[in-house]
Each structure stands twice: as structure tokens, then as C-alpha cells.
Structure 1
Amino acid sequence: MHDPGVCAGVDEVGRGALFGPVLAAAVVLSRQASTSLEAEGLTDSKALTARRRRLLVPRITAVAEAWAIGQASARQIDREGIRAATEAAMRRALQRLAFTPSLVLVDGVLPLRGWEGEQRTIVRGDRDCAAIAAASVLAKEARDGLIQRLGQRHPGYGLERHMGYGTALHCQALLERGATDLHRQSFLVRLFSGSSTTAGNP
């Protein structure tokens, strides 16, 4: 994996969902911590089972030199667009670290706009960089937990099953019940192209 050095890995989750915020995590790992977590199976959160992710969370937070979570709401996504909102969530996570990293490693090919420090993009970084992989796990577990709690407040959408993504179950519930104030209206307009999905809270 990428040599972590003195740097923070940052990754997001929830970018393509129809409901709820986009979350990002930032994680700073020592070389020793990176090696230890890799030996325990740390990789991209999407390649891990839910049980493995849950087991890794306390290990990551225990050995990380610093970690933090940031988010951007559905309203901010509608107002600014998903890329800008995602970048805001990433910056918030980085700004909440106990110290400012000298280098930020960003998953993907797009740079993190608005971050004044040194940064580097890494394609497939959530598989090839331990700090980014750790960030992906923390962000995924934090968002899943949040969506499950919100699902109790907004029953009938199956949020606890699809985490707000546009599954057939979710789309059918939107058609039948309308959207909540936590749905991304800009996404729904594109998805349904004129269907009535914004009838208010169920």
C-alpha cells in the first residue's frame, strides 16, 4: 500500500444516495498502525462485510494518530451540487483533526478544491492506501448508523435496508409516500423526470 508518512487519508460515502447527507472521514495513521490494520484485513469499505467493518472501527480509532468525521446535508447538496457538498464534508473532516496534516491523500482523480495544503489524488486509493481505506470504513459505518436512526423517524422507505440509495424499493416508496425533507430534491427531479415525489413528509 501507499507509504502513509505524515499524512491524512480522506474518503466519502453516500455521494450517490437519494436520501440524507454525504459523509467524509479523515484518518492519520503511522506506518506501524497501517501495517497492523492491513494485517487485520483493512481495505476499501465496499469490499468488506458489515461485520468486518464494525470490528475494524474500534481498531482504527484506537491506533489512529487522529481521525474525524464531516458531513454535508441534503439541503447543501441541493443548493451547491454534490461535488461541492462532498468537498465541504471532506474539508470539515480534515479541519476537525487534532492537527493539520502536511499532506492529504484523496481517493480518486479529482483534487479537493478549497484545501490550501499539499494534497495528492490516488486512483483506487481506498484499496491501495491504508489511511484512505480506514477513512472509507469510518465514513461508511458512521453514515450507515445515522441512516438507520433516521429510518426510525421516517418509516416506510426501507432506509435501514438500502441506506438511502435508489433501489426499486426506495423509488416505489417515494412514488407512494412522497419525499421527506431529508431527501435530495435535486436528485429526485433528475430521477423521476416529472413524477410527483415531493409531497412532503410521510
Structure 2
Amino acid sequence: MVERSALLVKRPGRVEYAAAWEAMRAFTATRTPDTLDEIWLVEHPPVYTLGQAGRAEHLLRESDIPLLKTDRGGQITYHGPGQLVAYVLIDLARRGLKVRQLVSIMEQALIDCLAEYGIAAERRAGAPGVYVGEAKIAALGLRVRQGRSYHGLALNVDMDLAPFAWINPCGYEGLVTTQLADFGVHETLDAVGARLIGHLQRLLPLS
């Protein structure tokens, strides 16, 4: 039986959203009780994604950016170069976790990671994600199938934020977005990802 603490980190780099989504679904569908939990750190070309209950009217204007309807929770969000995306492929039952607990762990890992850069971030009740003041810096969206999670979180590091203005981010009209670069942080995605992984590994329960 696999150790509950085991966690494999993969860094595929920049990949098309649809390809990553299909790979996540395939991994989740074929994993066994002995399959290691994995976290994938990726970056996507520009794409809007719409959650299962997402409403297309939250896309405010047409652009060349494709829109894909996915099977995660949440409304509409944007992914693009300079954003760190972490896909969290966890066997919840094996770690004794409920979905809300995993969401809380992901948010806390982000908050702790940002604190290392001197950025005071916080969560908001009823609005998953992480915020700095009134601006959102990280979004969350999960799908759980047979007790196993996929999808994950997206942290804005150093990207073009303009496409967020063409949507109601996460379904909230007028929601402002921000990023690490706005606070004078200019680390690579790999460096930020390494810090984030450290906090996720620390916070995920062993049993």
C-alpha cells in the first residue's frame, strides 16, 4: 500500500489547457489505491475556462482567446503565460480529507507562500481563492471523482492581466485582479512553484 505522505511533483512546463485537462481526467480514471498522489505545475497559452455551472454572459467581450467549458467548479477565469497553475491530484479518502478541507489547505498554502514575499493575503468566506486587499491574486477550482481530486489553483505571477478585464472573474462583476509582479516580486514560475509545493507538502495530512 502506498504511503499516505507520498507526493510526486511534475513540471510539464507550458501545455495547452485541453491537453492538460484530458491528462488529468485520464490519470484520475485509471489510478488505483496504490497510485501516488501528484501535483502538476504548468503554464497555459491564453485561454478562458468556464466551470460546470458557469454562465457564458460573464464573458464580456469577444477576443481571439478561446473559451472552453470544463468539468471543474466555479465560473469563468483566465489562464495565460506568466501564471502558475498547480493541478492537485489527491486521493482524499487516503489522506482523510473532505473537499472543503482540501480547498482550505490550498488557500493556506497560497497565503503562506505569498507571506514569504511580504504580501499579506487572505481568503474570503463563500468566494474560494486568495485576495490581497480587494484584488484577487489566485483562483481555485476542483473536481472530485470517486474521492479523488483534479484541477486545482492558479496564481498570477507576472502576466498580462488585461484579459481579466474582459470577463467577470469567477463570476464577480468588477472584481480586480493582481499579481506578484505588482508587488515588486519578479521570480520565475519555477521558483514560485517550488515555494508553493513546500507549503502544500507541509499542510497536506499524512493520514
| TM-score exceeds 0.5 | no
Q: Provide the TM-score with structure 2 as the length reference.
A: 0.26
- Decide which structure has greater strand share: 2
Q: Provide the TM-score with structure 1 as the length reference.
A: 0.27
Bigger relative contact order, structure 1 or 2, given CA contacts below 8 A and separation 6+? 1
Pair member with larger Rg? 1
